Chains A and B, each alone.
Chain A
Amino acid sequence: MTTAAASWPWSLTVVAACIVLSLAAGTAHRVLPAAAAVMVPLGLSLLVLHGLFFPEGRTVLAAWGPARITAEGLDFAGQRTLQLAAVVMALLVFSFSVRVPDLVAALSARGVQGRFAFVLASTLTLLPAIAGRARSIRQAQESRGLVISRSLVSRAAAFRLQAIPLVLSLIEDAGTRAAALEARGLGNAGPRTSYRMVPDSTLQRAARSVLVLLALASVVVRVVLAGTGG
């Protein structure tokens, strides 16, 4: 939506809305640092690139040889940064707030194939699963005398000891898990149902329709504006 509309206020509104949403969901303390980690380097590089070397810049604010800061360049860089920020924030708010079981249930309720829904859910549960396995390997090693202190060197050494057992155990685990999932009918072609009820209020449904309409509208507006402007 924001990439289509390409306007400062819109991008800012979306970013603000994302922050409000993540605050309300209680995930802000995880979303905001993650967003900063992505956006700060990206935003700086955009500023340097477009701020200094924007070819269509007319209003020169300062110049050092071939590099010149132009108002248009800064404007463009700011706009792009905000657009990206909006997209990144929206994705992060989603991935930090989505409850995987709800997602899988919602997907299968809408007729998404069981295997596909499972793969999708697995990609989201994979990291916690790997972290859990790594934790149990670390506990086993610590229980046998591996001392892990807070220093970076000690942690790196510990990671080296854990990496191979981790990968091997994940592969082994996948083999047995596959047999269990097949036997429990994950691959069934027929229709499937869902035990979990995902609450889907009229408000949510309305919000989704409005958002889709807004996205379409912004594309139309952009195209029309480009048509009249050019």
Chain B
Amino acid sequence: MVTGGSGIPNSDGEAGNASAPVLAAGIRDFTFHEAPAPVLRDITVSCPPGSFTAILGASGSGKSTLGRLLSGWLPPGGHGTLAGFLELAGTRLEFDGGPGDPRIDPAQWGRHVGFVPQDPAAVLSTVRATVAEELAFGLENTGMDRAGMEAAVERTARLLGLGSLLGQDPARLSGGQLRRLAIGCAIIPGPPVLVMDEPFASLDAAGTNELASLVRELIRGGTAVVILSQAVDALLLEAGTWLVLADGRLAGGGPPAAMRPGSGLLPPAIRWPGGIQATRPSTAVTSSRPGQVPPAKPAALELRDVSFGYPDAPVSRFRRRRREPGCRAMVLADVHLAVHPGEIVAVTGPNGAGKSTLLRHFNGLLRPTSGTVLVRGSDIAGAPVGKTAASVGLLFQQPRDQLFERTVLREVGFGLDRLYGPALAVERAGAALQAVGLADAAREHPAELPASAQRLLALATVLARRPAVLALDEPTVALDGNGLALLDTAVRSAADSGAAVVLVTHDLGYARAAAHRILALDGGRLHPA
């Protein structure tokens, strides 16, 4: 795993010793090139085989950087300099940020440490046509024989509930399905250490349970598991050690039992299960409380008999002949939905149920195969998306699909001057950034913001337009407690000023706290949950 450093360790030899850590790090400081200050300082991590470590931190605390450093995705010397050591399978590499530092071979490191990044799409090789081949990609590169690969793919798919998707194109998976695939790619070679960054984000209840039992099984089998998170998911209560990161430093650590809320050891921005109540701002006592029926007005958004199916991918005639002719799979079937001004509706459903597909019908990015979509009473069938967008604000599931400008301010200001004129546009953009707490970041590059801030920025771009209909796809994902409170306030105040809000979420706690009614999308049909 090392070139230019000390000897190459025998891959599994020393790892058998239960007390010695299989992965450890002592970081005096880590600084990105051209950055004024270190992002990580004074952190020690040590993971013996079969241990379970949770690293908790609010957005921007340096979690993802630490995760990528531990897993070889950010080799010291490449994008930044490390002073300290990294230790893997009994071999310690000392770094002092100078030219004589050892170099990490990411491929060798990757055999020992599996990593699931925060953005699961980053894992995809992009040249593999099916989920099964994507899973096998890492095994192919180690030269495993075909029978071995087939068994491994089959076993991993079963563990993660990917069995029915093995033949699908990875590029067409839903957000939650993609997360499962990324986890599968990380565990399939059986690495002794598994590092996961926000693995629960956008997983449905079944996926969360599957992941929890998967982690338990891996730990029983001797794998050291490290989960980086900004929320205390139920599974993390089973961890042996919690490490708390704040501003790139280790702010505390110990067994979970010692760190309950009230102990003062956890920063308030870290979310607890169903923690919206804990973080809800006391000022948000408004008319839009659950249980209160908003006054009857004509619907701001109405879907009548909407059905939709994706067209089949083009295939050659030979292959087409083998398939049964006719019916393409319908993602939405006869969906009826009416959302009134001031109303907040939450839509839940399993991964891949078509929730994002549903939202994309609201502004015409997708057109129904049959049925009509009415926005403020008029059919949007013939209208270009850009026109409908004046009334419908859509928050995409992945912020990176939404953000494209060079600075935060330009991002929020995009298209506003056409709507309001230049003077008012600047004012609206500023107000929207203020509302999501990003006023100080106006000149930064959106891609360099932490995931939570990216999500909030995307939200600001939607809020700045003051649309009559707000469609939010997984708005709580990647938000820490502070971000969630900002989101909650923003959604409520939008609803109070007359916007109809539809939000898609797996966070049932949030849905119950924020929405007037909850609908479930399953098998293409929408029904009350």
Judge if A53 is at the interface, Cβ distance under 8 Å. no
Tell whether A195 pairs with B461 under 8 Å between CB atoms, given A145-B415, A177-B122, A186-B141: no
Q: Select A145's contact among B110, B389, B400, beta carbons within 8 Å.
A: B389
Interface string of A178-213 (1 = CB under 8 A from B): 011111111110111111110000000000000000
Q: Is B119 an interface residue (CB 8 A)?
A: yes
Is the beta-carbon distance between B73 and A179 smaller than 8 angstroms?
A: yes
Residues of B within 8 A of A180 (CB): 73, 117, 122-125
Contacts of B109 in A (CB 8 A): 183
Contact B129 A182 (CB under 8 A): no
Cα separation A132 to B132 with both chains bound (whole Å)? 22
Q: If A145-B390, A182-B110, A183-B110 touch, does A101 touch B140 (CB 8 Å cutoff)? A: no
With known contacts A141-B415, A147-B387, A193–B110 Cβ distance under 8 A: no
Within 8 A of B (CB), among A82-109: 97, 99-101, 104, 108
**Is there an interface contact between B106 and A183, defined as CB atoms closer than 8 Å?**
yes
Once the chains are docked, how many angstroms separate the CA of A16 from the CA of B132? 38
Centre residue among B106, B139, B390 by max chain A CB count within 10 A: B106
* Contact of A144 with B117 at beta-carbon distance under 8 Å, contacts A165-B405, A180-B123, A184-B110 already known: no
Question: For the complex, what is the distance from the CA of A190 to the CA of B141, rounded to whole Å?
Answer: 8
Q: Are A143 and B125 in contact (CB under 8 A)?
A: no
Q: Are B396 and A140 in contact (CB under 8 A)?
A: yes
If the complex has contacts A146-B415, A183-B106, are A122 and B126 also in contact, measured as CB distance less than 8 A? yes
Residues of chain B within 8 A of A25, CB atoms compared: 316-318
Main secondary structure on A side of the interface with B: helix
Interface membership of B57, Cβ < 8 A: no
What CA separation (Å) do A146 and B386 show in the bound complex? 5
Q: Does residue B143 face the partner (Cβ distance < 8 Å to A)? A: yes
The number of chain B residues touching the other chain, given as a range, is 35 or more
Verify if B320 is at the interface (C-beta below 8 Å from A): yes
A142 touches B385 (CB 8 A): yes
- How close is B165's CB to chain A, nearest CB, in angstroms? 16
- Closest beta carbon of chain B to A198's beta carbon, Å: 12
Binary contact track A104-127/B, C-beta < 8 Å → 1, others 0? 100010000010001001100100
Contacts of A141 in B (CB 8 A): 386, 404, 414-415
Q: How many A-B residue contacts, CB cutoff 8 Å?
A: 174
B133:A196 contact, CB within 8 angstroms = yes
Given contact pairs A145-B419, A185-B110, A190 touches B73 in the complex (Cβ within 8 A)? no
> How far, in angstroms, from A172 to B119 measured CA to CA in the complex?
13
Nearest residue in A to B137 (C-beta to C-beta)? A184
The residue of chain A having its C-beta at the shortest distance from the C-beta of B143 within the complex is A191
Q: Kindly report which residue of chain B lies nearest to residue A182, judged by CB atoms.
A: B106
A196 to chain B, nearest CB (A): 6
Interface string of B380-411 (1 = CB under 8 A from A): 00001111011011101000111111100000
Instruction: Flag if B401 contacts A195 (CB, 8 Å).
Output: no
Kindly provide the distance from the CB of A199 to the nearest chain B CB, expressed in whole angstroms: 12
B141/A188 in contact, CB under 8 A: yes
Query: Complex Cα distance A210/B390, Å?
Result: 63
Q: What chain B residues lie within 8 Å of A24 (beta carbons)? A: 317-318
Contact B318 A129, beta carbon cutoff 8 Å: no
Tell me which residues across on chain B come within 8 A of A192, comparing CB atoms: 140-143
Contact among B133, B185, B390 with A184 in the assembled complex (CB-CB below 8 Å)? B185
Q: B475 within 8 Å of A by Cβ? A: no
A228 is an interface residue with CB less than 8 A from chain B: no
Q: Given A140-B402, A144-B461, A147-B387, do A187 and B107 touch, yes or no (CB 8 Å)?
A: yes
Q: Which residues of B, 116-157, contact A by the 8 Å Cβ criterion?
A: 117, 119, 122-130, 132-133, 136-146, 149-150, 153
Decide if A184 touches B402 in the complex (CB within 8 Å): no
- Counting contact residues on chain A (CB < 8 A from B), the size range is 35 or more
A184 touching B387, Cβ below 8 Å: no
Residue in B138, B317, B386 whose beta carbon sits within 8 Å of that of A147 in the complex = B386
Output the nearest chain A residue to B127 by Cβ-Cβ distance: A121
Q: Which of A99, A108, A140, A165 contacts B140 (CB 8 A)?
A: A108
Q: In the bound complex, how far is the Cα of B519 from the Cα of A117, in angstroms?
A: 47
| Inter-subunit contact A26/B317 (CB<8 Å) | yes
| Contact A185–B107 (Cβ < 8 Å) | yes
* Chain B positions within 8 Å of A7 at CB level: none
* A45 located at the interface, meaning its Cβ lies under 8 Å from any Cβ of chain B in the complex: no
A139 within 8 A of B: yes
CB distance from B519 to the nearest CB of A (A): 22
Q: Are B146 and A142 in contact (CB under 8 A)?
A: no
- Contacts A165-B405, A193-B149: A143 and B365 contacting too (C-beta < 8 A)? yes
Q: Is A3 in contact with chain B by the CB < 8 A criterion?
A: no
Assembled-state Cα–Cα distance A181/B107 (Å): 8
| B residues near A148, Cβ cutoff 8 Å | 384-386
Complexed CA–CA distance, A143 and B146 (Å): 46
Judged by a CB distance under 8 angstroms, whether B205 is at the interface is: no
- CB of A142 within 8 A of CB of B365, answer yes
26 intermolecular pairs with C-beta atoms under 8 Å apart: A24-B317, A25-B316, A25-B317, A121-B127, A122-B126, A141-B404, A142-B385, A143-B394, A143-B396, A144-B415, A145-B465, A146-B389, A147-B385, A148-B385, A164-B406, A177-B122, A179-B68, A179-B73, A180-B117, A180-B122, A182-B106, A185-B138, A187-B106, A187-B107, A193-B140, A195-B140
Q: A145-B419, A180-B124, A182-B106 are in contact. List 16 more A-B contacts (CB 8 A).
A: A27-B316, A99-B129, A104-B127, A108-B140, A122-B126, A142-B386, A143-B385, A143-B393, A143-B396, A165-B404, A169-B400, A177-B122, A184-B107, A188-B142, A194-B140, A195-B139
Task: Name A's B-contacting residues (CB within 8 A).
Answer: 24-27, 97, 99-101, 104, 108, 114, 118, 121-122, 125, 129, 132, 136-137, 139-149, 162, 164-165, 168-169, 172, 176-177, 179-188, 190-197
The 4 A-B residue pairs whose C-beta atoms are closest, nearest first, are A147-B386, A185-B141, A165-B404, A195-B136
Enumerate chain B interface residues (CB-CB to A < 8 A).
Answer: 68, 71-74, 106-107, 109-111, 115, 117, 119, 122-130, 132-133, 136-146, 149-150, 153, 171, 185, 315-318, 320, 363, 365, 384-387, 389-390, 392-394, 396, 400-406, 414-415, 418-419, 447, 461, 465
